Chains A and B, each alone.
Chain A
Amino acid sequence: DAGITQSPRYKITETGRQVTLMCHQTWSHSYMFWYRQDLGHGLRLIYYSAAADITDKGEVPDGYVVSRSKTENFPLTLESATRSQTSVYFCASSGAGTVSFEQYFGPGTRLTVT
């Protein structure tokens, strides 16, 4: 299906485990982003990527790792999950073909760390 998808949609994991959240887009957008949404903090940028093999930190990158070997995929890894990383994670993309880099969001992944 065309668009931007995230998997899994729901995940429960234990403290200390490694977790990878997947993001896939079919538009060949150059830019991709990871945000987290928390009550009281709103949406905050974790990492972003301007193109394959180009990534950079956002506002809250600690505890997270990203990679982008292919334009269409942008996985987010929690190396050792902590309870403070319980959140809803959104992936977004934008780039060539959009109107002035309009961002399109995936459906989100709800992650619970116990």
Chain B
Amino acid sequence: KQEVTQIPAALSVPEGENLVLNCSFTDSAIYNLQWFRQDPGKGLTSLLLIQSSQREQTSGRLNASLDKSSGRSTLYIAASQPGDSATYLCAVGFSGGYNKLIFGAGTRLAVHP
């Protein structure tokens, strides 16, 4: 069964810290991987998408990496701010899956001043 796991489940850090969120998946035959942000009671906002042929993607203070052979992706957030507080979701599109995404349970991030 294709599964996506995110560690840690929750994280609390002081403002300014650099942090890493982890995502692992069970099948290396993936099409793409997306990182989303979800604020409480809100929808999902796409942060970064990594195609299977790519190793990383960057957007502002965010950098996502992909290592298919080990079944891992990381989301690096530089110089964290209180506004970064949210739940971060990793979702994997497995090959042959008609673009369906399988989601991890998320990492709940709190950045305190």
Contacts and interface: CB of A to CB of B under 8 A. Distances in A.
For the complex, would chain B's binding face be called helix, strand, loop or mixed by DSSP majority?
strand
Give the 8 A-B CB pairs with smallest separation, nearest first: A43-B103, A105-B44, A107-B43, A100-B51, A102-B49, A42-B105, A101-B99, A108-B43
5 contacts: A42-B103, A43-B103, A102-B49, A106-B43, A107-B43
Interface string A96-114: 0001111111111000000
Contacts of A31: 98-99
Interface of A: 31, 33, 35, 42-45, 48, 50, 56, 58, 90, 92, 94, 99-108
Contacts of B49: 99-100, 102
For the complex, would chain A's binding face be called helix, strand, loop or mixed by DSSP majority?
strand
Classify chain B's interface size: 20 to 34
B66 interface: no
